[in-house]
Amino acid sequence: MPAVKLRIADRETEFRLALDPELALGEAVMDGRIIVERGTIYQLLETLVCGLSRQPPSVWAGTLGRLRTAVRRLKQHNTPAWAKSNVHHHYDLKSEFFRLFLDADRQYSCAFFEHPGATLEEAQAAKKRRIAAKLALKPGQRVLDIGSGWGGLGLSIAKETGAKVTGITLSEEQLAASSKRAEESGLPVEFRLQDYRALTERFDRIVSVGMFEHVGVGYYRDYFRKVRDLLEDDGVALIHTIGRSTPPGATNPFIAKYIFPGGYIPALSEVTAAVEKEGLIVTDVEVLRLHYAETLKAWRERFLAHRQEAVAMYDERFARMWEFYLAASEASFRHDGLVVFQLQLAKRLGTLPMTRDYMTDKGRAAAEPVERAA
């Protein structure tokens, strides 16, 4: 790894780093009390993450981690009101800000890199195709998109499959942008400002991409109970979420305080336990490894290329915070066991074909003549 040199500005920062490094490091970078004099923020974080992942935590760090895990339900008390406040904190930043580093469709979740050298735009389009394939969509079906973002996934599903899409979000900025896109498209897509818990309609398909991380560990059974109740008996759901390959834990304190309040990255054991208890069947699981690291690399590089625009929109401290967040996230997905889970769910064992061929381009092409003959 490249050599990195940093300067710590004062003794107080040294004390805070010793007491709570997970929180203090990001705050010190934001406040300009840690200055990287040689190398980059990403190189610093990659060095730290790689080093720490090879050794057990200290007694103090282990104790601090257990305390945070013990109180995590309080930190993730995501009632409808708190959930909207948490979404506002992050997703109601200026839409122009997200344009600085996202692709043109504003996909703010893990892309799928089908081959080395794929562009971010190609990888995000591949992600949408993969999700649509796993939903086994047919024209005219009713699709619910929980956490619909800027509308790109819902619009793509409607355009490519002929399905009717309802997207819900708690972000007013996202709702304004997605509703405008839907109106201009003329497609059968509707977006609403609505909490998933308030829905009463039934849907043939449910998709949720990058929203489950905001549900809160105390609400997992409520979430999957609602998915079950909203699905038709022959329905299919696809949940795409960041996950950890380690046992359950707690949210990084810097991320919880400054980036995603109320958020949590689950272990697969936590998710599947809630699914099983609410009467849904896990029909397929895929773990995307390193795809988010590559996505974050693309976002980080684009952000740095437009960094001064971010400073002009907000300020230097905000730009440092976002550079740290993107760099820390990339290092964690590349070296510290963070992955992405895609869980396909159904109510009945026979809802979907017995093999995964229908999820592939080759399998769908082979099935077309049979479907027409039928």
Please, which residues bridge with residue 189 across strands?
165
Q: What tokens were used for 269?
A: 């054991």
Q: Which residues 6+ apart lie within 8 Å of 321 measured at CB?
A: 26, 29, 30, 258, 259
The amino acid that residue 269 corresponds to is: S
* Alpha-carbon gap, residue 289 to 266, rounded angstroms: 15
Average pLDDT for the chain: 92
Q: Taking the CB of residue 2, how many other CB atoms lie within 10 A of it?
A: 10
Its pTM stands at 0.91
What CA–CA distances, in Å, run from 310 to 29, 255, 324? 17, 19, 14
Please compute the mean of the pLDDT values over residues 27-46 and round it to a whole number: 95
Res 360: pLDDT: 82
Section 315-343 average pLDDT: 97
Q: Token pair for residue 283?
A: 């029909």
Kindly state the average pLDDT of the residues 328-346: 97
Strand stretches in 252-337, DSSP E: 281-288
Residue pLDDT, tens place only, 195-225: 999 999 999 999 999 999 999 999 999 999 9
Give 79's pLDDT tier (boundaries 50, 70, 90): confident
Dihedral sign computed on CA atoms, order 132, 134, 140, 144: negative
CB half-sphere exposure, 358, CA atoms < 13 A: 18
Residue 138 CA to residue 325 CA, distance in Å, equals: 39
Output the pLDDT for position 56: 67
Rg of the chain over Cα atoms, rounded to whole angstroms, equals: 21
Phi and psi torsions of 338, nearest 5°? -85, 140
Report the percent of the chain where pLDDT is more than 90: 84
